[in-house]
Amino acid sequence: MKINSNSSLENISLGGVDQWILIRGNNIDNPILLSIHGGPGGSSMSHHNVYNKALEEKFIFVSWDQRGAGKSYSKNIPKESMTIKQIVSDAHELVQLLKKRFNRNKIFLMGHSWGTALGMYLVKQYPEDFYAYIGIAQWSNGKESERLSYQFTYNKAKDLGNTKALRALEEIGSPVNGLYKNFIKELLVQKKWVLRFNGEFYAQTNHNEYIKNILFSNVYSFYEKYNYLKGLFFSLNTLWKEFVDVDFTKEITQVEIPVIFIAGKYDYFVPSDLGLEYYKMLKTPKKEMIWFNRSGHFPHFEEADKFNALIISLLNHNKIFPFKTSF
């Protein structure tokens, strides 16, 4: 059975705020895979549609623009509602909606970067909702992550003799408790150099494609494309401080469902070595960590074929996770 000719773009209410989901899939009997985007504010609808279409063959694939991001941005969203607790609550509400609509007991959950923070809170609080959790560029210790990310850019600038980068990085200084003095403005300076030094995308062409996907997407109206950056800055300004304070090495050291971490070898946006340290300490019924050796922060886009095949293998083989693969 087809789902509205393979695609359903819907406006729903979560936590009293209008938000958008994109549902794609070839068979209504397939399991549900919910994707939680990064950022904060970094909608992935237009990218999944380009890189991860293969997943639609085996899953009902759901992309969600969180409150304040992408199609779900509105200047009327109360700033005080932009908290991790509220967005986790929105996500839980969405999971219940999907389970009820498709008559499912459980779904698969996938998070990227900021989305992995939301994902870990979800699977910790509501393990009964999920078959398994997939964390891409897994967040673990926010303050240490930002310190190491800055150190990468500073060391790289010195090694390359890039005086422009050195001046910019010395001017903002290393973050204190994960934050810069001028907050998002200086954070973006540092992240600009992560990108330039291939610590976000392994190849610069990937970044160009990333921007084109947004500009030429048929998911967003012209007005929504215009507002995309507004949503990104709104989300960063309201959520970043709380995000950086997250330290799962102290908060969540055990979950009750199988977990897979996917890491890009060259990720210095969220340094992947920290994800490895967290993986080693995290107690789960079953876990795997898989490295993508030609990727930075976006392995699910940079090595899409490998990523899609891996996720599909969750259904075709019972090697990684100890659950039955009939749904």
pLDDT tens, per residue, the chain with 327 residues: 344 446 899 999 999 999 999 999 999 999 999 999 999 999 999 998 899 999 999 999 999 999 999 999 999 999 999 999 999 999 999 999 999 999 999 999 999 999 999 999 999 999 999 999 999 999 999 999 999 999 999 999 999 999 999 999 999 999 999 999 999 999 999 999 999 999 999 987 788 888 888 888 889 998 899 899 999 999 999 999 999 999 999 999 999 999 999 999 999 999 999 999 999 999 999 999 999 999 999 999 999 999 999 999 876 654 445 444 333
Task: Judge contact between 267 and 137, C-beta under 8 A.
Answer: yes
Task: Judge contact between 52 and 304, C-beta under 8 A.
Answer: yes
Examine residue 324 and state whether it is found in any structural domain, yes or no: no
Q: 3-state DSSP call for residue 139?
A: coil
Examine residue 327 and state whether it is found in any structural domain, yes or no: no
Looking up tokens 């890009």 gives 264
Residue 113 DSSP label: T
Looking at the fold, whether 71 and 159 belong to one and the same domain comes out as no
Which of 160, 180, 196 is where one domain is finished? Answer: 196
Looking at the fold, whether 177 and 284 belong to one and the same domain comes out as no
Task: Judge contact between 184 and 236, C-beta under 8 A.
Answer: yes
Looking at the fold, whether 167 and 94 belong to one and the same domain comes out as no
What's the token pair of residue 259?
């977990």
Q: Which residues of 54-78 are buried (b: 16+ CB within 10 A; e: fewer)?
A: bbbebbbbbbbbbbbbbbbbeeebe
Q: Which domain holds residue 160?
A: 146-196
Task: Judge contact between 91 and 249, C-beta under 8 A.
Answer: no
Looking at the fold, whether 35 and 150 belong to one and the same domain comes out as no
Looking at the fold, whether 58 and 164 belong to one and the same domain comes out as no
Looking at the fold, whether 278 and 160 belong to one and the same domain comes out as no
Burial group, residue 34, by CB count within 10 angstroms (0-12, 13-18, 19+): buried
Whole-number Å distance between alpha carbons of 254 and 257: 9
**What phi and psi values does residue 83 have, to the nearest 5 degrees?**
-135, 160
Looking at the fold, whether 78 and 170 belong to one and the same domain comes out as no
**What phi and psi values does residue 29 have, to the nearest 5 degrees?**
-90, -5
What's the token pair of residue 184?
């998002």
